[in-house]
Amino acid sequence: MFSNLKRVITLTLLASAAGSVLAAPAPVSDLSGSNVASTRSSENEVQRLERLLENRNRVQLRMQQQVDEMALEISELRGQLEKNNYEMQQMLKRQRELFIELDKVRAQVSSGATQSQNNSSTSQKGTYSTNANEQTAYQNAVDLILKKRDYNGAIAAFQKFQKDYPDSTFTPNSHYWLGQLYFAKKQDKDAAKSFVAVVSHKDSNKRADALVKLGDIASRNNNAAQAAKYYQQVVNEYPDSASAKLAKKHLK
Give me the pLDDT at residue 113, please: 45
Cβ neighbours of 25 (radius 10 Å): 5
Q: Mark whether 149 and 214 lie in a shared domain.
A: yes
Please report the pLDDT score of residue 62 as a whole number: 84
Q: Are residues 148 and 247 in the same domain?
A: yes
Concatenate the DSSP letters of all residues of 95-132 into one string: HHHHHHHHHHHHHHHHHHHHHHHHHHHH-STTPPP--H
pLDDT the model gives residue 181? 93
φ, ψ at 123 (rounded to 5°): -150, 135
pLDDT of residue 114: 44
- CA nearest to 144, candidates 168, 130, 132, 161: 161
Give yes or no: residues 233 and 160 share one domain: yes
CATH code of the domain in which 197 resides:
1.25.40.10
Query: Are 161 and 96 members of one domain?
Result: no
Are 217 and 191 in contact by the 8 Å Cβ rule? The answer is yes
CA distance readout (Å), 140 to 134, 149, 177: 10, 12, 13
Whole-prediction pTM value? 0.53
Inside any domain, residue 3 = no
Contacts of 146 (CB under 8 A, 6+ apart): 102, 106, 109
Residue 56 lies in a domain: yes
Distance (Å) of CA 177 to CA 7, 54, 150, 168: 150, 75, 13, 15
* Number of domains, the chain: 2
Domain containing residue 48: 43-100
Beta carbons within 10 angstroms of residue 60's beta carbon: 10
- The whole-number pLDDT of residue 108 equals 54
Show pLDDT as tens, one digit a residue, over the chain (252 residues).
545 555 545 555 545 554 554 444 545 445 455 555 666 677 787 788 878 888 888 888 888 888 877 777 786 777 777 777 766 776 666 666 666 666 665 555 545 444 444 443 333 333 345 567 888 999 999 999 888 889 999 999 999 999 999 999 999 999 999 999 999 889 999 999 999 999 999 999 999 999 999 999 999 999 999 999 999 999 999 999 999 999 999 998
- The answer on 232 and 162 residing in a single domain is yes
- 87 within domain boundaries: yes
189 inside domain: yes
Is 210 within the bounds of a domain? yes
